[in-house]
Structures are given as C-alpha cells and as structure tokens.
C-alpha cells in the first residue's frame, strides 16, 4: 500500500545577505568549459545555531565547494513570524555567508522555513535540485538517535533530489 502525500503550503522568508562578491563580466575564454563549471553548482547546507552545523559548513567549504558555486543556507524554525527567531537566524546566516566568502569565495543565499527540519530540508532540496545537501549531526549517541529519530537520518532516507552528506561532529 502506498501512502499519499498531500501538497502542503509552507511558510518561508528569504534572508537578504550582504553582497560580498562584486558582479563582473565573464571572461571570453570560459566558452570551452562545460556549462556546469561556468555556472557553478547549487549546494544546500542545513544550518542551526549549534557547533556541528558550523563544522559541517566548514567541511563543505574545504572539501566540496568551487569558486562558481552557490551555497543555499536552510534553517528550519517553528514560526517565521516570530521576529526574535527571525533576527537571530538572520544574524547567524549573515555570519555564515561572510565565513563562506572568506574561506572559499562562494556566493550564499539563505532561507528560513517554517516546519519540521527534515521535511523542510528535503522540500528545499526538491525545489533547488542541488549537487548535494550537507548537514551536521546533532551529537546524540546511537541509543538517543534510535529512540528520538534524527534529522540527518530522515533526510538520508527521504531526500531524492540530491545526495545527502552527513558530517559527523568534531567529537
């Protein structure tokens, strides 16, 4: 028996990040390169206020990102209308965008989405069709993950739009 999933409207707010990369015309010699390399890839990075999220971002910047890529930060919250939550999330994403530019010189976009974290990340991956979805672990042990579930595990099993890379914490 197959479960029927309803298309659910969801709330989200774009985060306006500082324009860190100046707009320049593309050089002519890029014509021989493939379109993906010239255009860059989209990479979704699930972020929260924890240290493992920042560690996963740094891992992605060092091991995965190229110059033309765009990072899409996704942060799941309980309510996008709560201004305190929005401002704290916006400040976090601005800080991460500056770090991403300083480390790998990549562009960043950010979105705060209302809902369950696993479903939100999978929905954003479906919308963007990224090259990868990168996320950190929460730092739970095996027993806690089995009993309470895990956002990374949910995304690993349900995200069909892109490969999911779960970066373990520094531990």
Per-residue pLDDT tens for 32-47?
A: 555 555 578 999 999 9
SS3 call for 27: coil
CB 73 within 8 A of CB 111: yes
Counting the structural domains of the chain, the total is 1
CATH number at residue 59: 3.40.50.620
Average pLDDT, the chain: 83
In a domain, 124, yes or no: yes
Q: What pLDDT, on the 0 to 100 scale, is given for residue 34? A: 54
In a domain, 31, yes or no: no
In a domain, 78, yes or no: yes
In a domain, 114, yes or no: yes
Nearest to 121 by CA among 6, 65, 58, 44: 44
Q: Which residues contact 70 (CB under 8 A, 6 or more apart)?
A: 40, 41, 42, 43, 106, 107, 108, 109
pTM to 2 decimals?
0.79
Res 67 pLDDT > 50: yes
In a domain, 33, yes or no: no
Which has more confidence, 96 or 170?
96
In a domain, 152, yes or no: yes
Task: State the sign of the Cα–Cα–Cα–Cα dihedral 148, 111, 99, 41.
Answer: positive
The range of the structural domain enclosing residue 59 comes to 39-167
φ/ψ (deg, to 5) at 110: -140, 145
Q: What pLDDT, on the 0 to 100 scale, is given for residue 167? A: 93
In a domain, 52, yes or no: yes
In a domain, 1, yes or no: no
Q: What pLDDT, on the 0 to 100 scale, is given for residue 6? A: 55
């Amino acid at each position: 028996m197959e479960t029927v999933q309803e298309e659910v409207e969801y709330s989200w707010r774009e985060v306006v990040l500082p324009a860190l990369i100046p707009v320049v015309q593309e050089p002519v010699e890029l014509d021989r390169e493939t379109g993906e390399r010239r255009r860059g890839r989209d990479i979704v990075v699930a972020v929260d206020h924890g240290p493992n999220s920042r560690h996963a971002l740094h891992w992605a910047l060092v091991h995965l990102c190229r110059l033309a890529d765009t990072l899409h930060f996704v942060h799941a919250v309980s309510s996008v209308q709560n201004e305190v939550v929005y401002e704290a999330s916006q400040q976090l994403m601005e800080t991460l965008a500056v770090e991403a530019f300083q480390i790998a010189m990549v562009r960043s976009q950010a979105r705060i989405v209302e809902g369950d974290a696993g479903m939100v990340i999978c929905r954003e991956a479906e919308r963007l069709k990224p090259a990868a979805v990168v996320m950190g672990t929460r730092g739970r042990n095996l027993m806690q993950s089995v009993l309470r579930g895990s956002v990374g595990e949910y995304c690993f099993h349900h995200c069909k739009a892109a490969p999911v890379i779960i970066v373990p914490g520094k531990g």
